[in-house]
Amino acid sequence: MPDSLPPPLETALYRPLKRFLETRGFEVKGEVCGCDIVAVRPGEPAMLVITEMKLSFTLELLLQAVDRMAWADEVWLAVTASRRGRDQDRRVHRLCRLLGLGLLAVTLSSGGVAVICEPEPYRPRSNLKRRARLLKEHGTRRGDPATGGSTRQPIMTAYRQRALDCAAAMRCGPQRPRDLRPFASDAGAILLRNVYGWFERVQPGWYRLAAAGVAALESWTAATAGEAG
């Protein structure tokens, strides 16, 4: 069987990028003062563009580009084009825009260069809905019951706190939603939706605590006691 082809080198990106920049009116030279590509367009003053290359998007590439921003009018990142790599990740695109960096994707088979984002100032569009949701959750959650960075256990949200309050009030027996409003203003919706499976309807307008609710009260009470200890 023939040997597999060796992986491409970063230098394979150079010729396509050189042509790309030359079509934009730049004189292009490689490896200038530690920069992969330096392009200059004559003028008063001259325009200086730096391009840093890597086969894929990496933190090191990003750090290099941030360092070069103080030296040049524009800084571009250039990577090999892929179908599912970081060059296709919209979070990477937003990051480049936030930093004012350009991003190029080079298709080695054809030598084509695609502009993913231009190196220009950018401010993301405000997401007022998400902002309001964050402020509401932060304001209605009692105390600080969730440790930052937790990923393998349920999060104690404000909604879960209110559901637990309803469950605790139902230990003594079935309750109506209006009886639980002192504990949760949205008690009716909590019982109706029954997100966690903690409640059971015994007759129209009356609910009792299910076995899952009893277990949840015990586990969350134990977890809270453990954190306090």
pLDDT by residue (tens digit) across 48-60?
A: 998 998 998 989 9
Residue 226 pLDDT exceeds 80: no
- The closest of 133, 155, 132 to 144, measured between CA atoms, is 155
Domain that holds residue 161: 155-218
Mean pLDDT of 200-225: 89
Judgement on whether residues 112 and 17 belong to the same structural domain of the protein: yes
Other beta carbons within 10 angstroms of residue 210's beta carbon come to 17
Q: How many CB atoms lie within 10 A of CB 196?
A: 17
> For residue 42, is the peptide bond before it cis, meaning its omega torsion is within 30 degrees of 0?
no
Contact (CB, 8 A) for 75 and 96: no
- Domain count across the chain: 2
User: How far lies 224's CA from each of 119, 197, 204, in Å?
Assistant: 49, 21, 34
**SS3 at position 176:** coil
**Helices in 28-180 by DSSP H: which ranges?**
59-68, 90-99, 128-140, 158-169, 177-180
**What pLDDT does residue 217 have?**
93
Instruction: Tell whether 112 and 172 lie within a shared domain.
Output: no
List the beta bridge partners of residue 107.
112
pLDDT of residue 7: 63
Note the pLDDT tens digit of each residue in 21-40. 999 999 998 888 888 889 99
Q: Is the pLDDT of residue 224 over 70?
A: no
Q: Give me the mean pLDDT over the 208-226 stretch.
A: 85
CATH number at residue 31: 3.40.1350
Is residue 87 domain-shared with residue 14, that is, in the same domain? yes
3 state SS of 49: strand
- Based on the fold, state whether residues 106 and 185 are members of the same structural domain: no
Angle of helix 59-68 relative to helix 90-99, nearest 10 degrees? 20
* 193 within a domain of the structure (yes/no): yes
Q: 95-119: per-residue pLDDT in tens?
A: 898 899 999 999 988 889 999 988 8
pLDDT score, position 147: 75
- Model confidence at 1: pLDDT above 50: no
Q: Is residue 185 a part of any domain in this protein?
A: yes
Same domain (yes/no): 80, 163: no
* The model's pTM: 0.61
Average pLDDT on 207-226 reads 86
Residue 3 CA from chain centroid, whole number: 40
Give the CATH number, domain containing residue 172: 1.10.10.10
The pLDDT of residue 4 is 60
Q: Is 60 exceeded by the pLDDT of residue 2?
A: no
Is residue 157 within 8 A of residue 139, CB to CB? The reply is: no
In a domain, 189, yes or no: yes
For residue 10, pLDDT over 70 is answered with yes
Q: What is the pLDDT of residue 206?
A: 95
Note whether residue 105 is domain-resident.
Answer: yes
Q: Which residues contact 155 (CB under 8 A, 6 or more apart)?
A: 146
- Strand, coil or helix: 221: helix
Average pLDDT along the chain = 87
Within a domain: 34: yes
- 173 with 108, same domain: the answer is no
Using the 3D structure, point to which of 117, 143, 163 is the last residue of a domain. Answer: 117
Share of the chain above pLDDT 70, in %: 92
